[in-house]
Chains A and B, each alone.
Chain A
Amino acid sequence: MKRLLTIALTLALTVALTVPALAGKTLMMATTTSTANTGLLDELIVPQFLKDTGIEIKFVAVGTGKALKMAENCDVDIVLVHAPASEKAYMDKGVLIDRTEVMYNDFVIIGPVADPAGVKGMNVAEALKTIAAKKAPFASRGDNSGTNKKELSLWKAAGMAVPEKDAWYVQTGQGMLPTINIANEKTGYTMTDRGTFIKYADNNGGNPPLVVLVEGDKVLFNQYSALAVNPEHCKDAQYDLAKQYIAWMASPETQKAIGNFKLLGKKLFIPNAK
């Protein structure tokens, strides 16, 4: 009995203690689930940044709301998100500084191939009005994420109140892929980022049941920015490392690499650091 306990404790302590001991410089990052799910961080950013600077990025992928909250709580040194309005709010609060636009992609509205509401080719405002009028099922993230905030802003831009209480408006409270799956189950529509749609199409062997119906409208623009946690707000924030990261993201080499990043054979991001 005592021997097993000793083994268990030794095992646990070894794990717990060796891991921090092996770490060199570490940058804590909060980012969004959709960003992480593209693989950009795992496949390009984290390994390349480690190679170029010797700094390891440890990132937590959560909803935008939570990522920004974590910055406010000083649990991270830097955030990589795509919600300009919220970013501004946190900058006004003095939590985040050095906002730097690094890349963008777009959102699209997808729906069944048969397009029962007939919104293909419309601009966003028209499409949403049509969907509402026809009470076509529409799946929303409903989770305060960057994508969710973008979707809510589209309803407002179309001059409508968010259809909170309508039966056809489904708030899933989940990630993008599950939300798309729910939209499909209901033969309905949803708004998604291009990256997740590419993955979704690939999951379905190139022939997904939901296809892009509305795209290209300027309001569907999805701007990614890196923001450093303000060292005046969080005295333990590793501001130097954060600055290094931002500079590196905006550097010509990195920008080129981002532009060349392919998700399942398709280009995903357009670099736009100045």
Chain B
Amino acid sequence: MDFLLQGFLKGFALLFTGDPETYSAIWATVGASSLSMFFSLTIGVPLGFFLGHKTFIGKRILRTIVDTLLSFPTVVIGLLVYAFLTRHGPLGGTGLLFSIPGVAIGQTLLGLPIIIAMTANAVEGLDKRLPITLTTLGASPQQILWATVMEARFSIMLAAMAAYGRIVSEVGISMLVGGNIKWHTRTITTAIALETGKGEFAMGIALGIVLLAVALLVNVAATGLKKKAVK
């Protein structure tokens, strides 16, 4: 039980003493999650928009598939990406295996269903008067698209926070695709898994505190963004 308090205090110690291993892990986590969030959003928002906005044959089936992918276990995603990036795989030899960009690819696959499903929902839930309002104000099809995405911006921001939470806390992908290599692909979560596996529970808690600190910073920034979005 006392590893909880020990770990809690140790977490702050790691952050404020600038422990190099901890900061290397923070850097790895920030790098991978930033890349994957960028791609999840730039690919996912347009796809989600398309899925929510247009009617087409098979729309319901596609929607169901996307919703089911929300439950994709991270270890399985990790295995899938590993299968592609391994030497003999289709993308072998790209040097992406055991690298942060490789991890980001897997994490993008994790975040995409969340962004797509929630954006589609947001777009579907938009006021039915929006399209004709935009049309009657003279907006071109591209302008209608952009304005519609803007109308859904609060829900999309929520989707981004949900995807970020899932991405930054996952272990399966980072472990399998990254390899937990010290100084290179050891993220905060794989470090937690390692320490816990070694029985170093206090260290596991400490790193958990570090991860929450990183997430807190991101959330503060996002709140600032939300305030700006209302202007």
Contacts and interface: CB of A to CB of B under 8 A. Distances in A.
Given a CB threshold of 8 Å, the question of whether A touches B is answered with yes
Interface of A: 1, 4-5, 8-9, 11-16, 19-20, 28, 33, 37, 42, 58-61, 73-75, 174-175, 177-178, 180-181, 199-200, 203, 234, 236
A15 B27 contact: yes
B198 A11 contact: no
B31 A11 contact: yes
Nearest to A200: B199
Given A1-B225, A16-B104, A203-B199, A75 B98 contact: yes
B22 interface: no
Interface in B92-124: 92-93, 95, 97-101, 104
A37 B37 CA distance: 33
Interface in B194-219: 197-199
A73 B37 CA distance: 30
Contacts, number: 84
B2 to A, nearest CB: 13
Given A11-B31, A19-B184, A37 B198 contact: yes
Can you list the 4 inter-chain pairs with the closest CB atoms, starting with the nearest? A15-B31, A74-B87, A12-B34, A177-B199
B91 interface: no
Contact of A73 (B38, B86, B221, B229): B86
B35 A60 contact: no
Interface string B178-189: 011110100000
Interface string B62-85: 000000000000000000000000
A20 B102 CA distance: 13
Contacts of A58: 98, 181, 184
A241 to B, nearest CB: 16
Query: Which residue of B92, B100, B198, B228 has the most chain A CB atoms within 10 A of its CB atom?
Result: B198
A9 B34 contact: yes
Contacts of A200: 199
A15 B199 contact: no
B30 interface: yes
Contacts of B27: 15
B228 to A, nearest CB: 7
Contact of A234 (B28, B34, B87, B98): B87
A77 B52 CA distance: 48
Given A15-B35, A74-B87, A75-B86, 14 more contacts: A1-B225, A4-B225, A9-B38, A11-B30, A12-B38, A12-B104, A14-B31, A16-B100, A19-B99, A28-B98, A60-B98, A60-B180, A75-B87, A177-B197
